[in-house]
Structure 1
């Protein structure tokens, strides 16, 4: 079994996450979470951030506790992305 399949996701879903809007593999709840992550992450290109529409969609699919967990996971991922960028460590490489 592939690494993605072991975690409950097919390789196809994992490889297409960058095209989540067009790919048919994601539920409405997953799309809401991906929209939240994308909006919270894009800071430098003038993106509007988390809009009321995104927030309403997230609230339609997740509890307050789940949204808190999503927010923390997004923040943690952003933290590691920025640290990796600072120390020029490629994404996906394990730290020793």
Structure 2
């Protein structure tokens, strides 16, 4: 069976997704932190294209290789801030949606560093990255083909 190609996804749907992405990109959340979060979500979901894209974006923005290669083991690595750890934990919980996960504790940790509005924005950013991962995996976009366009 043939997959739906990326250019066959309805344009209205893609426009809506790009609109949400534009909101996330402009809502004031730290872009480097969003890239780390996107990398972690893409690791969990096994989306090689998104890992390639967000790693390239993060490196272009000055993120270190050490932090990029360790984001899957952020709990054991000493070079993530408490604010980053709170976001990574939250992103993992929302991505995995495991029964019995302690979302209340994650919210409590986030509230130490972020406003409720910022937490709502992180929630949408996590949902959006999960959507992109699923669309990319469904359409079979080839990993390694992303190039920065700045």
User: TM-score, structure 1 length as denominator?
Assistant: 0.78
Which runs of 5 or more structure 2 residues have no equivalent in the other structure?
1-55
- Measured against aligned partners, the alpha-carbon deviations of 1:30-89 in whole angstroms (never above 9, x if no partner) come to 00000000000003xx45345211110011111122212211211110000111121223
- Of 109, 115, 124 in structure 2, the residue corresponding to residue 57 of structure 1 is 109
Task: Identify unmatched segments of 5+ residues in structure 1.
Answer: none
User: Between Structure 1 and Structure 2, how many residues are aligned?
Assistant: 92
Looking at structure 1, the residues matched to 144 and 127 of structure 2 have their Cα atoms a distance apart, in angstroms, of: 17
Mean Cα displacement is larger for which, 33-42 or 3-12? 3-12
The separation in 2 between residues aligned to 1:20 and 1:10, in whole angstroms, is 14
Are positions 1:35 and 2:64 aligned together?
Answer: no
Contact 1:20 1:26 in 2 (8 A): yes
Give the RMSD, CA atoms, in angstroms.
2.5
Cα distance in structure 1, aligned partners of 2:126 and 2:79: 21
- Write the distance in 2 (CA, Å) between the matches of 1:88 and 1:6: 25
TM-score normalised to the size of structure 2? 0.53
- Separation in 1 of the partners of 2:101 and 2:137? 21
Structure richer in helix, relative to its length? 2
